[in-house]
Structure 1
Amino acid sequence: MSQPTPPITRKADGSDPYAWLQARDSDEVLEHLRAENAWLDTQLADQADVREALFEEIRSRILETDLSLPSPWGPWLYYSRTTAGDEYARHYRAPRPADGSLNVDPAQEQLLLDPNELANGGFLSLGAFSVSPDHQRLAYSLDTQGDETYELFVKDLASGEIQSLPFEECSGSMTWANDSATLFFSVHDDTHRPYQLYRHRLGTQGAALVFEETDGRFFLHCYRTSSERQLVLHVNSKTTAEAWVLDAGQPEGAFACVAERREGHDYDVDHGQLNGAWAWFIRTNRDGLNFALYQCPEGNTAPREADWRSLVAHDPQVMLDGFSLNHQAYVLSLREAGLPIVQVYPAGGEAYRVQLPDAAYSLYVQDTLEFAGDHMRLRYEALNRPGQVRQLSLASGEQVVLKQTPVLGPFNPDDYLSERLWATAPDGTQVPVSLVRRRDRIGEPTPLYLYGYGAYGESLDPWFSHARLSLLDRGVAFAIAHVRGGGELGEAWYQAGKQANKHNSFSDFIACAQHLINAGITASDRLVISGGSAGGLLIGAVLNQRPELFAAGIAEVPFVDTLNTMLDPELPLTVTEYDEWGNPQEPEVYTRIKAYAPYENVQPQAYPHLLVVAGYNDSRVAYWEAAKWVARLRELKTDDRLLLLKTELGAGHGGMSGRYQGLRDVALEYSFVFKVLNLV
């Protein structure tokens, strides 16, 4: 039943009057969340036709039936296929052609997994999808709730028989040893942290505990190295790492430690070849914030730190984000002046950088393919350019575009101008802004959608979106504020926006918004801001600080009840987050977080229109953070602008799982934007 007024949120006694919303699964809480959903439906009822038209418009640009670019491995080509009307891609393989081509023979293909059948109309997230080294079995894991707890399965690819592994609280990871019969998997503790690694041999009962991490700040993860000859157990917090290695051919053996953890030392390892000899590669920050690369010849034990030899020295101007290995080259993923760079060191040749056509873009090594191959694949895209898979010849540097994401209907990337701007923060720091808009709409202030994140050192590189064309073609510009706390300008940029420096993320975002206004690109009454998770905290904080600067805000799974969450070590992930935000059990940290936490700092003032989205099964940012924040906003705000909360009762941190469900979520968000900006 529709409601004529917003839901009234009961206030309880105590310092946190809306803490009762944390009583998960109680009738009162569920009734309240459903009432909020009903209020949203009522307020956006006049947009129903717009939403449906947007959904169909976005859908019409997407090639719904398509084949992914096949990846060669051993005797097979592995690939996926999307089909019109299906929420999920199906996974296949076909015999590898003798001529070395990537041509798939549908008559000989094998269906490996059909998530559409497994989902049966409900939520489904595929975790591991790992074929055994002998290509006889498929290990995969499924989350059917959205809480990122997975069930484990092994499928015999010859018979089709599926075995469910009887283990609980699994994180979803599954790693094969080289005997194709032994699997390593990890499980969560009570705070949803992967903390134990187990070894299971198919055909036997139970599993053997291999490693247990008792420090609540550390996660563990197991993976195969590029060479396929070694296994790595990587244990890390936000600031510190420790790696253990094991011969993949000896899964019953014991992992050996590479470098014992010491606070602040972050490193990761891989195994490959250097000048034709087997070697370890170690990326480490022991020489400086931006990391350096070391190598160590393969020996009978782990590559102990005393034996590391410098390969690429630390550069205070260039961040070493990561590296990829092939028998013929090692490839560095760098960040310089806010842009991703790929630099190749071919065996016996001169190092070179991959050349690219755009001023602002996203670039990463998508697939190293087979270790003994001659090529790697790069993923490249820009705000105005659909994603491309480029084949890079490691020896020559030659690039070939193997596949470009199609855009159906009228589309010309040159109709859109992609730019890199720089805003000046209050302390004088230059903050990059990526901007895209239609060329024929330049010259007057235009509606603009500004997105931000700024946490965990994550780099928010420009990306292409089919859906975003529905904004751009209606004259709405799109921008990304690359604020401190992200990793766009290296490790120092990240550290300048975390813990005691978190205020820089907020002032940077406000400076970016102000720059776009001062430059005449947009105006306050046309500016919509958006962010999710830690980006939702960003949105909540700047709305409290400068609400008059924005017309509307969108906060998805927002981390807005920051102080209370960080005060509760029993909640999932809280202890692991101390390195990012600080531990508020310390008085100085408590004061600092309380000064910016969005929930605590809601003021009796006018706020912009606001759409808030939460996931009831979210194990990272609990649904009640959004619900409590909205309740306090509704209590204190002095305006009559829209304040809407949508809680996805069957989803988690990433929202609904199917591709069409995802498009409907975007259509809802965009119709909200059009409504509050009076564009339709």
Structure 2
Amino acid sequence: MPANNSAHRAPIARQDQGADPYAWLQARDTPEVLAYLQAENAYQEALLADQAPLREQLFQEIKGRILETDLSLPSPWGPWLYYTRTTAGDEYPRHYRCPRPADDSNTVDQAQEQLLLDPNALANHGFLSLGTFSISQDHRLLAYSLDTTGDEVYTLYVKDLASGAITELPFEDCDGSMTWANDSQTLFFAELDDTHRPWRLMRHRLGQDGADLVFEEPDGRFFLHCYRASSERQLVLLLNSKTTSEAWVLDAETPQAEFTCLAPRVEGHEYFADHGQLDGQWRWFIRSNQDGINFALFHAPADHVPTRAQWQVLVPHSDTVMLEGLSLNATALSLSLREGGLPIIEVRPQGLAAYRVELPDAAYSLYVQDSLEFSSTRIRLRYESLNRPAQVRQLDLHTGAQHVLKQTPVLGPFEADDYVSQRLWATAGDGTQVPISLVRRRTDLDRPVPLYLYGYGAYGESLDPWFSHARLSLLERGVGFAIAHVRGGGELGEAWYRAGKQEHKQNTFDDFIACAEHLIAEGVTTADRLAISGGSAGGLLIGAVLNQRPELFRAAIAEVPFVDVLNTMLDPELPLTVTEYDEWGNPQEPDVHARIKAYAPYENVKAQAYPALLVVAGYNDSRVQYWEAAKWVARLRTRKTDDNLLLLKTEMGAGHGGMSGRYQGLRDVALEYAFVFGEMGILERGSLASS
């Protein structure tokens, strides 16, 4: 049960006059703000102090399931195998390579391996995020980037792999991307503007001072990104907003030349370019929505920059199947499709019949993890489900034969068949059928169980079912886990995404509520045993449904929650605001202002009872500023009418993704699970106290 908070006084934030009484919390680094955040952290620690033994138990049991010393599946490239190795006690994997075996196997020769990068030494026990890790085409140099604060601003480095000499490049405000040209001397990288948007592409030649400006994108809605095409023969500069894109291309052999526009931007036209071969001829492959919202695939000649009139349909648009992406090899292309809410890989070998990859589960996650070398006739797929650990499967593109190369181990007692993975469908108020992925113990199918329900629902992102070592600590204690695949995500195609954005955003919240009601009505759980969770835009989802239907839930977790959405979207000087107009709308427009204000969690906190709530923020978060969570919690403290826990934890040395390092990540999960168990009265594995 919840800890007794009578002996501890919750911090009460000062309220100023004006429309936003807690706006003063946005004054970063001021003594008053730091004191308030530290007081909230101390309060959270005090009220959850009695859970410390449970947190440690959870940490140890989760860690005990993970093979702490392990080797990644090596990737062959040229004369080398590249791979990582994790070692017990280390927060980060080390990066290695060894000579490629003559038999083309994946066998690592430790006697000849070279250590390329050790992030553990670079982190020095602080925050560390490795951005780019990119080997030059001649395999002599390593380009990598590091973020040491969590603010997603990176420092760029180049390492000579023969001598070990490291050069820090003298550039600031970098997004961390680094792309090699084929001369192995020229690097392209992106710079951030004042709103944290990649907006300039720069070109740097090793050994020379400074960098040349290659491209500048003035439209604040557009992000800039440079990448190598599958063929390794072309560089692609992609400019894209939430609704429109434009690609510029450059021969990778001539990095000093100018990029050429593949197709000028037209509002609403999204297209994504790659370069490869079709029937032995070099072609451009273009995934475009010009024929319909679910995208079609076109090809065009590559001996010159083609016009849109020269695009020829290769895979036509479908009203029922979403074309999400493609992977190119010299003699086959692999389509990433989505149909009926599930991911599908369709392979089209040149000169042979197309086929779809067959898989054993009804609900799962599947994607092309590694297309290997362009000349390869094999690719690697990553496959997992809620009750099945991730597998890396090798697929022979020509025959369709699959071979499991590696399965993520689960140490200790574990049987996938002890748990049942299901796909359910809830009915929203407007009649829409909303999918739910659910996993629970086989022995719990005939009775209500405590349930952890997760949601996101934004940007067209798909939450395909995934396996989690940590989640077994829920399942072993009789807690089920479910994902609500609400509108705003991409699970059922582009139309599903569009039905949960802009003026349709309320559908996201209605869908989540419908999923919760369905799970209760079907006897899967009860309202007093239902915990919900979401992060970032999923935190907005959690905040909104807590305001609208608080009685449905026992507890909630909101991680880096986007809850001050109206004030954030009204401030174009904040990072990423302008680029978000296509997702949420521009509240400078009166109708959009009213629409956002109607659901924004911060504005809609009411004098009502709320479930127990744990809110986690990152002080260095550049995507969702720390003050969104702090202001929301401050307002909840003064308006809610219950005595349930309301806790704010601000990670003072972390960003949007939380603390870095695998062990710290496990401790964060242990904190959240212990909070949920405390609210549910769950004492030990398989044991429930009366709630």
State the TM-score, normalizing by the size of structure 2.
0.98
**For residues 363 and 30 of structure 2, what CA distance do their matches in structure 1 show?**
48
In structure 1, what is the equivalent of residue 688 of structure 2?
Answer: none
Q: Is the 8 A contact 1:267 1:285 kept in 2?
A: yes
Matched, 1:322 2:289: no
Which whole-Å CA distance do the structure 2 matches of 1:112 and 1:3 have between them?
A: 53
Instruction: Please give the per-residue CA displacement for 1:36-57, whole angstroms capped at 9, x wherever unaligned.
Output: 0000111101100000000000
Which digits, 9 at most, give the CA deviation of each residue in 1:215-254, with x for residues without a partner?
0000000000000000000000000000000000000000
Partners of 2:521 and 2:309 lie apart in 1 by 55
Matches within 5 A, 1:67-106: 67-106=71-110
Match of 1:550 in 2: 553
Q: Is the 8 A contact 2:282 2:303 kept in 1?
A: no
Task: Indicate which of 21, 32, 48 corresponds to 2:25.
Answer: 21
Q: What is the distance in 2 between the residues matched to 1:248 and 1:204? A: 19
User: Residue 70 of structure 1 aligns to which amino acid in structure 2?
Assistant: P
Per-residue CA deviation, residues 419-445 of structure 1 (Å, 9 max, x unaligned), is: 000000000000000000000122111
Query: Which of 462, 466, 470 pairs up with 1:463?
Result: 466
* Equivalent-residue separation in structure 2 for 1:106 and 1:12 (angstroms): 64
SS of equivalent to 2:394: strand
Question: Aligned with 1:33: secondary structure?
Answer: helix
Alignment partners' CA distance in 1, 2:146 and 2:82: 20
Q: Match for 1:171: what amino acid?
A: D
- For the residues of structure 2 that align with 1:230 and 1:465, how far apart are their CA atoms? 38
- Following TM superposition, by how much is the alpha carbon of 1:385 offset from its aligned partner in structure 2, in angstroms? 0.3
CA RMSD of aligned residues (A): 0.7
1:35 and 2:44 are equivalent in the alignment: no
CA contact (8 A) 1:379 1:387 kept: yes
User: 2:404 aligned to 401, 405, 418, which one?
Assistant: 401
What residue number does 2:392 align with?
389
Equivalent pair of 1:3/1:39 in contact (CA under 8 Å)? no
Counterpart code for 1:462: P
> What pairs with 1:428-507 in structure 2 (closer than 5 Å)?
428-507=431-510
Supply the distance in 2 between the matched residues of 1:183 and 1:268 (Cα, whole angstroms): 22
What do residues 444-490 of structure 1 show as CA deviations (whole Å, max 9, x unaligned)?
A: 11100000000000000000000000000000000000000000000
Q: Which residue of 2 aligns with 1:161?
A: 165
Cα separation, 2, equivalents of 1:97 and 1:674: 50
Q: Which runs of 4+ in 1 moved over 3 A?
A: none
The correspondence of residues 106-255 of structure 1 with structure 2, limited to 5 A, is: 106-255=110-259
Report the secondary structure of 2:162's partner residue. Answer: coil
In the alignment, residue 170 of structure 1 is paired with which amino acid? C
Which residue number corresponds to residue 297 of structure 1? 301
**Aligned residue identity for 2:544:** A
Residue 57 of structure 1 is aligned with which of 53, 57, 61?
A: 61
For residues 191 and 360 of structure 2, what CA distance do their matches in structure 1 show? 44
Please point out which of 495, 512, 522 is paired with 1:519. 522
Corresponding position of 1:634: 637
Q: Please state whether the residue corresponding to 1:355 is helix, strand or coil.
A: coil
What is the total number of aligned residue pairs between the two structures? 678
Q: Output the CA distance in 2 between the equivalents of 1:416 and 1:82.
A: 29
- 1:653: which partner in 2? 656
Query: What per-residue deviation string (whole Å, max 9, x for no partner) do you get for residues 400-430 of structure 1?
Result: 0000000000000000000000000000000
For 2:594 and 2:581, the matched residues in 1 are separated by: 15
> Which residue number in structure 1 is paired with residue 368 of structure 2?
365
Deviation at 1:305, TM superposition (A): 1.2
Residue 4 of structure 1: how far off its partner (Å): 1.6
* 2:29 partner amino acid: D
Matches of 1:509 and 1:443, distance apart in 2: 24
Correspondence for 2:543? 540
Shift of 1:495: 0.1
- Structure 2: distance between partners of 1:265 and 1:176: 29
Aligned to 2:577: 574
In 2: Cα distance, 1:158 partner to 1:347 partner = 40
Counterparts in 2 of 1:565-604, with a 5 A limit?
565-604=568-607
Q: 1:303: how far off? A: 3.0
Gaps of 5+ in 1: none
Question: Are the equivalent residues in 1 in contact too, given 2:543–2:563 (CA < 8 A)?
Answer: yes
TM superposition shift of 1:3: 7.2
- Residue 254 of structure 2 aligns to a residue whose secondary structure is coil
Give 1:648 shift. Answer: 0.2
Q: Determine the C-alpha separation between the residues in 1 that align with 2:429 and 2:171.
A: 53
SS of 2:507's equivalent in the other structure is helix
CA deviations 1:112-168 (Å, max 9, x no partner) are 000000000000000000000000000000000000000000000000000000000
Partner Cα separation in structure 2 for residue 3 and residue 112 of structure 1: 53
Partners of 1:445 and 1:20 lie apart in 2 by 45
Residue 420 in structure 1 maps to residue 423 in structure 2: yes
Contact map agreement 2:134 2:179 (CA 8 A) in 1: yes
Tell me how far apart the structure 1 counterparts of residues 45 and 152 of structure 2 sit (CA, whole Å). 28
Which of 370, 378, 401 aligns to 1:375? It is 378
Q: What's the secondary structure of 1:594's corresponding residue?
A: helix
Displacement of 1:599 in angstroms is: 0.1
State percent identity of aligned pairs: 75
Whole-Å Cα distance in 1 between the matches of residues 547 and 540 of structure 2? 11
Structure 2: gaps of 5 or more residues: 1-5, 684-691
For 2:410 and 2:624, the matched residues in 1 are separated by 34
Give TM-score, length-normalised by structure 1.
0.99
Measured in 2, the distance between the counterparts of 1:651 and 1:3 equals 30
Work out the CA distance in 2 between the residues paired with 1:594 and 1:225.
43
Report the CA distance between 1:304 and its aligned residue: 2.3
Q: Which among 475, 497, 509 is matched to residue 512 of structure 2?
A: 509
Q: Which residue of 2 aligns with 1:620?
A: 623
**Aligned pairs for 1:344-363 within 5 A:** 344-363=347-366
